[in-house]
Structure 1
């Protein structure tokens, strides 16, 4: 078993939650596990507790609240009472208090909350902060697929998250990258308090990965596969300390852990971001 390395987080989005994957992660030194109340048809917590109750204490477990069962499969809600109850239920279903609870895609409801979006976000943050103070979770954060709408809604008087999770990697557009950076600065978060997610834009088998060679972003790219290079580069688009990645293949997970040995060329990443801005109609490179 390798030493623990918190730079890789095993994400369970679209995962089958197989025990063999959890044991493989531990063998690779991956000790952070990320799920959500709505994963696996809102059964993720219960299945983890039933099939891997002896393994969960070996992980730092994060989950997310914000989606609830509804008539059409799921609905999003930021009502403080529902969020607080969801954290309580998560601890009950997991059989332990989560180490971290994310407010899941708050922008989903905030778009419909105008002009009260600032108050709605502040109250949602206060609800998770209260849950952490009550001991229902060790800490709380915000996970946002599209952070752009959040920038104008931050109340400096509201509780601040201790962790932010945003999309990371070569498939993320300039606007989202810039919004993530602005949100990180607004909340005063260091690299270690920022997580990336979806480093391959959803699928390493997508046609785009057959047309690009991400190894140009590494100092010694020839040592790594294109998948490894894309994963390692994701830690710089934007700057994050950890990346949550989902897979049901232990071999793929091992390949990604091996990518951590790569060194990213910061200048190449910066040039890439400048080109993204030009393409999106932003400032000149």
Structure 2
């Protein structure tokens, strides 16, 4: 299965139209996910969790794409939420209910949440918040202990398995970032001699946290091919466990 992930606000809010034009009648052959939550504003993009706006955005996505998305993700809900308040819990619950309703109406096949900083969300989750089918989070060696802990807390609260999890930004922005010249992620692989640093970083992103897919940019086809080849790499599970333990210990120290 080939999956495409986009968002209403990409390409200056033109991503759906451009994708429909470029892919044409091939688009139904892809698994397609998109995101809603950002809207055009007088000063650029503005974020909103208003149920009515979200519902209209899902309708607009299906219309612009020429087909219903397989998955619609609530985009960075933390941007409109405060830590642990009753009002924020009600706002999150209403936003999730709007996407749940859109799914029931056949505007998309499933809904979920994409969050860049999930630390705000765990205290807001209770029985009033509908359960998403998918959770997309940052993944990889550059994800901090707080983000990893929050992600695992959400997985537990919603009863989500690895199959419901998706990762993004496995390189923390770019494979050319200075950190990758100083840190060799191949030490986390059992067969480290066969792969590049970028391939190793991508493969380990599937384990930090445990996700079933990782979204990457599509600017360079050759780069995509290398990443696909990296899926055959075998992580060194002991190294991963040790790294997770170090992150937890550091987080515990910072909290005391």
Q: TM-score range by the shorter chain?
A: over 0.9
What pairs up with 1:1-285 in 2 under 5 angstroms?
4=1, 31-111=2-82, 114-282=85-253
Rounded to whole Å, the distance in 2 between the matches of 1:282 and 1:131 is 43
C-alpha contact (below 8 Å) 2:84/2:124 kept by paired residues: no
Contact preservation (8 Å) 1:147, 1:180: yes
What is the Cα deviation at residue 210 of structure 1?
0.4
Q: 1:93 to 1:112 in 2, by over 3 A?
A: farther
TM-score, with normalisation over the residues of structure 2? Answer: 0.96
Secondary structure of 1:53's counterpart equals: helix
SS of equivalent residue, structure 2 residue 215: strand
More helix by share: 2
User: How far apart are 1:267 and its partner, in Å?
Assistant: 1.4
Runs of at least 5 residues in structure 2 that lack an aligned partner in the other structure: none
Give the whole-Å Cα distance in 2 for the aligned partners of 1:94 and 1:194. Answer: 24
Pairwise CA RMSD: 1.6
C-alpha separation in 1, matches of 2:198 and 2:217? 14
Runs of 4 or more off by more than 6 Å in structure 1? none
Kindly state the Cα deviation for residue 231 of structure 1 after the two structures are TM-superposed.
Answer: 0.3
Cα shift at 1:282? 3.3
Q: CA deviation at 1:281?
A: 5.0
Look up the SS of the partner of 1:206 in the other structure.
Answer: coil
Q: Per-residue deviation at 1:132? A: 0.2
Q: CA deviation at 1:111?
A: 2.3
Partners of 2:129 and 2:118 in 1: CA distance:
17
How many angstroms apart in 2 are the aligned matches of 1:112 and 1:281?
20
Q: 1:162-189 CA distances to partner (integer Å, 9 max, x unpaired)?
A: 0000000011001100110110111111
- Structure 1 residues 83 and 182, CA, compared in 2 at 3 Å: closer, same or farther? same
SS, match of residue 73 in structure 2: strand
Q: CA deviation at 1:161?
A: 0.3
Q: Distance in 2 between matches of 1:113 and 1:70?
A: 28
Q: Summarize deviations over 1:16-36 as a string: whole Å, max 9, x none.
A: xxxxxxxxxxxxxxx100000
Cα distance in structure 1, aligned partners of 2:43 and 2:230: 40
Structure 1 gaps, min length 5? 5-30
- Separation (CA, whole Å) in 2 of partners of 1:282 and 1:258: 38
In structure 2, C-alpha distance between the alignment counterparts of 1:113 and 1:123, rounded to whole Å: 16
Tell me, in whole angstroms, the C-alpha distance in 2 between the residues paired with 1:113 and 1:137. Answer: 30
Count the aligned residue pairs.
Answer: 255
